[in-house]
Amino acid sequence: MSHEPSSHPDQLSPDTVVVAAGRPAREHDAAVNPPIVLSSTYVGTGEVVDGDRAYGRYSNPTWDPLEAALSELEGAALPGLVFSSGLAAVSAALSLVPVGGVLVMPRHSYQGALVMAQEQSGKGLFALRTVDIANNDDVIAALTGAGEKAADMLWLESPTNPMLEVADLRVLCRSAKAVGAIVVTDNTFSTPLVQKPLELGSDIVLHSVTKYLAGHSDVVLGALITSDETLRHTLLHHRSIHGGIAGPFEAWLALRGLRTLALRVERSQASAVELARRLDVHDGVEKVLFPGLDSDPGHERAKAQMQGFGSILCIEVAGGETAADALVGALRLWTPATSLGGVESLIERRRRHANEPASVPVNLLRLSVGIENVEDLWNDLAQALDAAAR
Ligand SMILES: *Cc1c(COP(=O)(O)O)cnc(C)c1O
């Protein structure tokens, strides 16, 4: 039995790969799309050996084409691993930090990842050093330990959520290697079409597939991708034993969503640049955080390691928390909701979450730019900014 999805000619561009990857073998009357397999168990006799499907917690044929596509997009040598959520993937990746080890993490990491690391470190599993990820000296000092123990893992997220700080991925991956630390990069905000962490020196790439990859705000799923055989084996074992597996329907939906990733990213990135420029000169906005603006501190670094600047931007609203809430309340097209990366534009005041770090301004709104017409998006923002200023 073959678990391998069909292959296609090498060196297709990524916007073709999202369409072509993970298709069933081309045989007469074969389905063009991979089917959903709903079975919790597989026929087997004799000894169970590595690679057998055996049971639904170990494998499911519906995962395979998605895992193949994610691996191809990230430029990995091995199939990816899908998990029940981005945080299930975070949990598996954090399990690689040895007991008594040291984890270095951005102080503005995705909140759920930060909370998990803080809780585990609070239990004494490992030491957590949080850093300003945009400051190379700060990160390198935390990695080497300045007389204390050197780091075992460097967690990277770039741009960060929600402060949109840009990490110098090449330099930091090299510095982590020099002290023998594993590098995990959360690439959710950028997608593999915009940033390729494995090429920049990361050992593992993490995705909340929930966001851009699935792209329609109708599925929760995560993934880890690596070219390292040993790391992949450990992560696969973690998934099988801890049980954070993807449902077959979710995996199927994610691959269906992935087919349009290039179009969605192209459109939303272009709109994000346009909206950021207009917001940047609006009186109702104190500050725009977006690496796509020439004036942004992360702009040059982003240009050197990304193809575009992503489609998340943040604004600090003049008039503080009250004005920010009023703005959100006055919007008609933008949906007030957490999450990001879907076709529909979402907006959220991040500090409404009690867990959000206090260093995130109370008047900060995070905008996830969708694929609607950019003038409609702008008009709605402009009328809500007016309403908030009244
Ligand atoms: C949403 C998100 C996660 C967590 O993923 P879930 O699918 O919600 O579990 C991790 N990292 C980033 C950057 C995210 O935006």
Q: Does the bond joining 336 to the residue before it have cis omega, within 30 degrees of 0?
A: no
Max CA-CA distance within the chain?
75
Task: Report the separation in Å between the CA atom of 206 and the middle of ligand 1, taken as the mean of its atom positions.
Answer: 9
Any atom of ligand 1 within 6 Å of the Cβ of 348: no
**Domain holding 200: CATH number?**
3.40.640.10
Give the total number of structural domains in the chain.
2
What pLDDT is recorded for position 9? 61
For 88, the domain range is: 14-258
Name residue 313's beta-bridge partners: 367
Residue 3 lies in a domain: no
Q: Which mean pLDDT values do the consecutive 10-residue runs of the chain (390 residues) have?
A: 52 95 94 96 91 93 98 98 98 98 96 96 98 98 95 97 96 98 98 98 98 98 98 98 98 98 98 98 97 98 97 97 97 97 97 91 98 98 94
* 65 and 191 inside one domain: yes
Residue 209 lies in a domain: yes
The H or E element spanning position 320 is: helix 320-330
Residue 59 lies in a domain: yes
Dihedral over alpha carbons 155, 157, 163, 164 (to 10 degrees): 150
Residue 202 lies in a domain: yes
* 207 and 234 inside one domain: yes
Strand ordering across the sheet containing 182-186: 81-83, 222-226, 204-208, 182-186, 153-157, 101-106, 126-131
Phi/psi of residue 109, nearest 5 degrees = -70, 165
Atom of ligand 1 at shortest range from CA of 189:
13
Residue 242 lies in a domain: yes
d(CA 209, CA 230): 23
- The residue from 258, 277, 305 where one domain ends is 258
Residue 1 lies in a domain: no
Angle at 83 between CA 79 and CA 85, to 5 degrees: 140
* 27 and 169 inside one domain: yes
Any atom of ligand 1 within 6 Å of the Cβ of 64: no
* 384 and 248 inside one domain: no
Residue pair 73/194 in contact by the 8 Å Cβ criterion: no
Any atom of ligand 1 within 6 Å of the Cβ of 185: no
Shortest-distance Cα residue to atom 9 of ligand 1: 86
What pLDDT is recorded for position 51? 84
d(CA 26, CA 378): 45
Atom of ligand 1 at shortest range from CA of 112:
4
* 102 and 161 inside one domain: yes
What pLDDT is recorded for position 6? 53
Task: Report the separation in Å between the CA atom of 221 and the middle of ligand 1, taken as the mean of its atom positions.
Answer: 9
- Count, in order, helices (H) and strands (E) of the chain: 12, 12
Chain-centre distance for alpha carbon 133 = 16
Q: DSSP per residue over 213-242, as a string?
A: TT-SS----EEEEES-HHHHHHHHHHHHHH
Dihedral over alpha carbons 63, 65, 70, 71 (to 10 degrees): 100
* 326 and 217 inside one domain: no
* 305 and 226 inside one domain: no
**Domain holding 317: CATH number?**
3.90.1150.10
What pLDDT is recorded for position 7? 58
Q: Does the bond joining 361 to the residue before it have cis omega, within 30 degrees of 0?
A: no
Residue 127 lies in a domain: yes
Q: HSE on the CB side for 209, CA within 13 Å?
A: 31
* 146 and 249 inside one domain: yes
* 108 and 239 inside one domain: yes
Residue pair 151/96 in contact by the 8 Å Cβ criterion: no
* 112 and 231 inside one domain: yes
What pLDDT is recorded for position 355? 86
For the entire predicted model, the pTM comes to 0.96
What pLDDT is recorded for position 23? 95
Any atom of ligand 1 within 6 Å of the Cβ of 87: yes
DSSP strand pairing (101-106 vs 126-131): parallel
* 302 and 354 inside one domain: yes
Q: DSSP per residue over 66-91, as a string?
A: HHHHHHHHHT-SS--EEESSHHHHHH
* 140 and 252 inside one domain: yes
- The residue from 258, 275, 297 where one domain ends is 258
Catalytic residues: 57, 110, 186, 211
3-class DSSP string for 130-155: EECCCCHHHHHHHHHCCCCCCCCEEE
- The residue from 227, 258, 289 where one domain ends is 258
Residue 201 lies in a domain: yes
